[in-house]
Amino acid sequence: MNVRPVLHIVSGLGVGGAEVSLVQIATALQARGFPQHVICVGSLQSIADQLRSNGVEVTVLGIKSAAALPGGIIRIARYIRGADPGVVQGWMYHGNLLAALAHGLAGRRSERRLFWNLRASNMEEDRYTRVIRLSAMFSRWPDLIIANSVAGAKFHIGRGYASQRMIVVGNGVDTEKFRPDAEARAAIRSELSIPTHSVVVIHAARVDPMKDHSTFLSAMAKLPHLRGILVGSGTETLSLPENVRALGLRQDMAKLYAAADIVVSSSAFGEGFSNVIAEGMSAGLIPVATDVGDAGEIIGDSGYLVAPGKPAALADALTAAATGPALERIARGARARERVIKEFPQRKTVETYMNLYYMQHSAPHRPAAAPIFVL
């Protein structure tokens, strides 16, 4: 069988949830003998080496302005004609639109499929109205629109996206990488001068209004008996209560999760499937999250869900998660890990994408096989 590549188009390769998922899927499929090629439209390529080191071809266009986008679309169309991919896969709003335009410009559209990927849910209307409306207009072009959350699929269908093309495939977690690790726990706590007996809450997110650090910090200020760790780009610039420490951008998230007891997401809007919640659970942490996106679906009965933008409610949930002896918290975290192992293993997500990309290559316009969730 002649296996044609998948051509992924993404606006940038910074450190974010969507980019992490792209790396997971592309490298796993490449390792299984299914060729992958990633085009990074912008110049941000922090994780490009992770792809290249796993055999995935990466092309960086380095486009820095809107005026250069038409030329970029022409270049992508040339890549499509030269590489002859079986699937052109856009990632997020701008990657989706560029994929659609280049797919059309390349011609011979019936010989390949166009997929889109949505990673968000109820995005802030003031910031994203224009791109969401434009995307809705083009949403009948792709053969398939893959949302990573039920909440995200419903939100975009409500904004005019083609519902008959929408499916939901949740993110997967590498449960061998994100796991309880006593050695890493001791090392990180020593590095950060955190006592062994302290209950530690970890919040991992770049500084962005969507992530609502202020609600988390307000909640932690009410809980001086807990220790907080902030991880993510820009966190080192925030004004912090005495019991919270910011580490900025780090590349050792698995070890940092292992040093904590509770994982928290305080997002105000926009989350689809939160990698942070699922990764923390996989590491054996008790999850506490705002009810945004598919947080409730991820957590199930293993943790706590509160309304967004409510510091007092978040503080109460963190208090409940921290209550009780250490052995009880460990047992609760173990149940959270078991939920991720059962419901959200990386293997399940990778196999679903493999099926969507390759198992139906001979009939590109038939309905796709059932993914993890279907609306």
Q: Which two tokens stand for residue 339?
A: 């939920």
Strand 244-246 relative to strand 166-168: parallel, antiparallel, unpaired? unpaired
Under DSSP, the state recorded for 128 is: H
167/289 same-domain check: no
pLDDT digits (tens, 9 = 90+) for 223-269: 999 999 999 999 999 999 999 999 999 989 999 999 999 999 999 99
Residue at 370 is within a domain: no
**Confidence category of residue 360, pLDDT binned at 50, 70, 90:** low
pLDDT digits (tens, 9 = 90+) for 276-331: 999 999 999 999 999 999 999 999 999 999 999 999 999 999 999 999 999 999 99
How many other C-beta atoms can be found within 10 angstroms of the C-beta atom of residue 167? 20
The domain containing residue 205 runs over which residues?
Answer: 182-343
Domain count, the chain: 2
164/202 same-domain check: no
212/327 same-domain check: yes
212/148 same-domain check: no
pLDDT(336) > 70: yes
Q: What is the CATH number of the domain that holds 28?
A: 3.40.50.2000
DSSP state string for 49-95: HHHHTTT-EEEE----SGGGHHHHHHHHHHHHHHH--SEEEEEHHHH
Q: Which residue has the higher pLDDT, 336 or 3?
A: 336
Mean pLDDT, range 162-174, rounded to an integer: 93
20/127 same-domain check: yes
DSSP state string for 242-259: TTEEE--S-S-HHHHHHT
Q: How far apart are CA 292 and CA 30, in angstroms?
A: 33
Residue at 66 is within a domain: yes
43/137 same-domain check: yes
Ordered strands of the 262-265 beta sheet:
244-246, 227-231, 200-204, 262-265, 286-290, 304-306
Q: How far apart are CA 280 and CA 37, in angstroms?
A: 30
Mean pLDDT, range 191-202, rounded to an integer: 97
Q: Which two tokens stand for residue 129?
A: 């109205």
Q: Which residue has the higher pLDDT, 36 or 368?
A: 36
DSSP state string for 289-310: EES-TTHHHHHTTSSEEE-TT-
Do 146 and 119 meet the contact criterion of CB atoms below 8 Å apart?
no
**Confidence category of residue 17, pLDDT binned at 50, 70, 90:** confident
155/281 same-domain check: no
168/186 same-domain check: no
Contacts of residue 210, defined as CB under 8 A and 6 or more positions apart, other chains included, come to 124, 267, 268, 269, 270, 271
pLDDT of residue 242: 96
Q: Which two tokens stand for residue 291?
A: 């009810």
152/162 same-domain check: yes
**Confidence category of residue 368, pLDDT binned at 50, 70, 90:** very low
352/282 same-domain check: no
How many other C-beta atoms can be found within 10 angstroms of the C-beta atom of residue 233? 17
Residue at 315 is within a domain: yes
Q: How far apart are CA 132 and CA 137, in angstroms?
A: 9
266/353 same-domain check: no
pLDDT digits (tens, 9 = 90+) for 114-128: 999 999 887 766 677
Residue at 282 is within a domain: yes
Residue at 127 is within a domain: yes
pLDDT digits (tens, 9 = 90+) for 51-104: 999 999 999 999 988 899 999 999 999 999 999 999 999 999 999 999 999 999
Alpha-helical runs (H) found in the chain: 17-31, 48-52, 69-83, 92-106, 125-138, 150-158, 182-191, 213-221, 253-258, 275-282, 295-299, 311-322, 326-343, 346-354
CA-closest candidate to residue 13, choices 38, 39, 48, 37: 48
pLDDT(372) > 80: no
191/236 same-domain check: yes
pLDDT digits (tens, 9 = 90+) for 130-144: 889 999 999 999 999
Q: Which two tokens stand for residue 123?
A: 């995005």
The whole-chain average pLDDT of the chain stands at 91
pLDDT digits (tens, 9 = 90+) for 42-51: 887 778 888 9
Mean pLDDT, range 348-371, rounded to an integer: 66
pLDDT(361) > 90: no
Residue at 369 is within a domain: no
pLDDT(146) > 90: yes
* pTM flag (> 0.95): no
pLDDT(375) > 60: no
Residue at 368 is within a domain: no
Mean pLDDT, range 186-198, rounded to an integer: 97
